Amino acid sequence: MKLLVLGLNHKTAPVDIRERLAFGPDIIAGALRDLTGCEGVLEGVILSTCNRTELYCAVQDGAEEMLRRWLSGFHGIEHERVDPFLYAHADRDAVVHLLRVSSGLDSLVLGEPQILGQVKTAYQTASDCSATGKLLGRLFQHTFSVAKTVRTETAIGSNPVSVAFAAVNLARQIFSDLSKQTALLIGAGETIELAARHLHNNGIGRIIVANRTVERAHDLAAQFEGFAISLTEIANHLPEADIVIASTASPLPVLGKGTVERALKKRKHRPIFMVDIAVPRDIEPEVGELSDVYLYTVDDLKSVIDESLRSRQAAAVQAEEIIDFHSGEFMAWLRSLDAAGLIQDYRQRSEELRDEVLARAKRQLEAGKPPAEVLNFLAHTLTNKLLHAPSSRLRQAARDGDAVILDAANELFQLAPERMQSNV
């Protein structure tokens, strides 16, 4: 059994590919059942965010190609269309990758904190679906601990640099005075809440929160003196919005070109700044073709984000050192599982040999042989049987000059090297 990570992210695939391979919350449970039902897949976790889709699996050898085809096949996309964008990491590389992802080192925004919550949610969902076991359970619990260490022992999270912050920062560059602007926020998740907080702190004039669940929208809007509407009311309020930031889990766009065109007419073509953070996208790409709309996606925000990251670079180096150390710790635990199996097998074989020799000794006693003679037979025979296979292997290692096995035997049995060499 080995660890395998297969996926794609904002570095390897454009948004139009990422959105086609995204796992929405309504299909994730079925996808996990399908994934772990595949031959050779023993455990699985699916992480799907706006910037990445990744499969974390405990698999048998040879499962990588099957996983590549499963990912494209599940979404009904040609394998050849998807495969060039995929990456795979095995064993220690897989551990390092998950630790880097959870610590924010592999994010579009270096050190962003939201990803850890997304990883925790992905693991909890897989656990609830009985898709995880001993290996992934230990890996993810180890990951959460390491990510916390990175946060507390480095400055990787210093300064507010998130996708939401970048969106608001760009809005400030476009509208010098946010106090005269109205922001329409579509969605009510963590990213939208961050955007609302940044807008509020920068003196936004008015906030409207639209969400499928109006109660959730109301709870969020109330924190920032805004008001809530349902998604079906967006068309009525869009003409009021100077800034639109969208981040929902909808599999289909919630804002189309026609709706925006009608809003622009009512605004007498005053421009609208839009940021679509969602994957799959919430705003139809064709909206960006309208002359009075400035539409940005998560990929477009990269240049804005890069300007805010310089203070985190030194912290990232320190974080990488922490991750390197703790990935070694996890691999040591993983190797111990192999040792545990070996010890169990060796103990079982030894007990079988013991029972065999003990049965022979009992028969000798029943036949009237003196107890001292039977005890000598028992000790001598059992010792020979237990040492026969190791002794034969050590003699062969000595003939072959296999220093690795000889040194390991010396360490295991605590023998002097020269004595071991002379005795084999």
Rounded to 10 degrees, the C-alpha dihedral 77/78/79/81 comes to: -90
Catalytic residue among 38, 50, 57, 129: 50
Q: Do the bridges between strand 293-297 and strand 272-276 make them parallel or antiparallel, or are there none, so unpaired? A: parallel
How far apart CA 322 and CA 99 sit, in angstroms, is 10
192 is in an annotated binding site: yes
By the 10 Å C-beta count (0-12 exposed, 13-18 middle, 19+ buried), 176 is classed as exposed
341 is in an annotated binding site: no
261 is in an annotated binding site: no
Residue 241, phi then psi, degrees to nearest 5: -90, 125
User: What's the distance, CA 361 to chain centroid?
Assistant: 58
191 is in an annotated binding site: yes
- Judge whether 48 and 23 are in contact, CB under 8 Å: yes
57 labelled catalytic: no
114 is in an annotated binding site: yes
156 is in an annotated binding site: no
20 is in an annotated binding site: no
107 is in an annotated binding site: yes
Helix 403-413 and helix 371-400, axial crossing angle in degrees, nearest 10: 150
Omega of the bond leading into 239 within 30 degrees of 0 (cis):
no
38 is in an annotated binding site: no
Q: Do the bridges between strand 182-186 and strand 206-211 make them parallel or antiparallel, or are there none, so unpaired? A: parallel
User: What's the distance, CA 317 to chain centroid?
Assistant: 20
Q: Which DSSP letter does residue 3 get? A: E
187 is in an annotated binding site: yes
49 is in an annotated binding site: yes
112 is in an annotated binding site: yes
Q: Which residues are catalytic?
A: 50
Annotated binding site: 49-52, 107, 112-114, 118, 187-192
Annotated binding site for substrate: 49-52, 107, 112-114, 118
Annotated binding site for NADP(+): 187-192
